[in-house]
Structure 1
Amino acid sequence: MAFLRSAQRAYERSALEARFENFDFNWESKFSLAQISRGRLYYTSGFVKTLEVHENYASASLKIDDETEPYCVIDFDGGAFTLRGSSRDEDLNAACAVACMYELEELLAAEIPAIRPDKKEPEKDDKAPPQSEALPAALKESAMPLVLQFKLKREALTFTAFWKTPKGLTAAFNKGTSATLNSAEREKIVRLARLARKSHFSYNGKSHVCEDSSSFAGFVNVALPQWRRYFEIQHSDDLEMLMHGVKDVDVDLQLELDEDFNLRPSFSGSSGSFKLDYDELKLLQGRDCRCRIIQNKGLLRLSNSDDK
């Protein structure tokens, strides 16, 4: 019997468990950046209307803004998959598949903890000593710590995920890594995928990247403390500068006389207790009120009066 969720998703228990146990968490690397971007737009815009998950395939139907209603079918063979679509436009088919995979990730994150049956205990031997009904915590399946290393770059906030093993850190999304994970570790990866998407991070084949500078402060202040409940977070001190949000920079113009008594303009910037030199100001110029990360100074933008 199929389970229905929000009148849009249909799946069988065995099918969802099969997808969970064989899910390729590096699946985004199979698509181009343009296809990923387009598929993410379909997913976040709510264009996916139905999702059906079976043991060997998943299908999704979408309704796009232009009233077209494409659908796609993803055939699974273990962790590998192939794509079929209703359109002659292969990029559209691929984007639909990306949206379908995002929906599937969200479904796994939401439903797997609830529907996975408890493992049956072995039949008791009447001669065996009595045991507690509940399994001791030490006997439950344990997971390696998942370490997220954050880096603050000029245009983006990024993190790279690693498993902490007895031999050191191992990249979490290396090819073939997912096949060696136990169920508890796979749940961590599914949770990370869902939380990263919610915080505007996308995977580029190596790291997760967020280029929406307007969301940085909210992520560091609100989301990141929640992430610490599930993952080990590592970052440099400059990440903490984002907690203060966006700082406006005022531009100062000074006129100076050169040795030939010609007037030459000199620009500098200031925000609170620190100053910006001309080269730093040039990084902010022409960004249409958008923010930019300036090393050792935080998230800055030109004030409205100085933007032109």
Structure 2
Amino acid sequence: MADVVGMVAQSHSPLRWAAPPVGAADPGAHFVRAVDRSREIVAGLGCDVVVLFGPDHFRFAFYDLMPPFCIGAERVDGVGDYGTPSGPLPTAPDLALHLHRHVSADGFDPALSLTMAVDHGISQTYAALFPALDVPLIPIMLNTSAPPLPSPRRSREFGRAVGRALRAAPGDARVLVVGSGGLSHWPPRLDAFDADLPAEEREFLLTGRSSVADREAGRQEKVKAMGRASGRVNAEWDQRVVELIRTGGVDQLAGLSENEIDQAAGNGGQEIRTWIAAAAAFTEATGQPISSCRIDADYEPVPGWITGMGTVTAVATPDAVARVTGGL
């Protein structure tokens, strides 16, 4: 069985590397130091594979076919947006295919991609934790951008199914489970059902795969302009989410409705589904509540990055696997 050794839930932002802090007191510097601590903790775990739940922002999945969940199982390429990794990333095809087969037998029907492109929603957090880009990655995309979205409760149950699949995996790979997304932010909506969406923009959401590269510079400039104007952030809500993940309150988060999240944290706040799924996968795989783990958690609101930036790192205790299996 795979040995799930830790869990990280971490915010990403398109401006995290495009507009980095220079001084120790600059906006974002506190979060960067927290990520540095997380990376050091993860480095000590000796991870063989990272299973990363993250979103896509219309660079891979479009409304011509929009799955709620998709597992990348063979070739994974970074898009390279906002200074994130570009080109092939290391993968773990055998374990990825096992996860897909097991989760499918467990009542879910995730899409399978043998050639997945990942943007900053996945690659930024992966690179922040593994800057050498040398740990095999299994990306699991959750649709958090394009309604209809899987519910937070369904995302929790999917995470649990992935956790059971990891527990049943052959071999003894040391696995880190990661959720990349959120927290509160209000980016431009990408919704094909929006009656006010210009026809050209709607066509991109439906069939824009071939024009991603041509539109990239314009998309990034719009987001950078939002950062310069300082984006909207709900720090109180963000801190509550961090606290619920830290204390094992995933069920409370899973009970939120899409509208409740949208009202409190914006359409970008829907990305907390990735945190919910990762936390559920970790607990299901290890049998260990996150609240009983060694934890490092922190938060900083960064309006200039248009996002509330949080991070939670949990390390499983050595006897977690023994408790799940009833002893080895």
Higher relative contact order, chain-length normalized (CA < 8 Å, sep 6+): 2
TM-score clears 0.5:
no
- The structure carrying a bigger helix percent of its residues is 2
TM-score (ref. length: structure 2): 0.27
**The structure with more radius of gyration:** 1
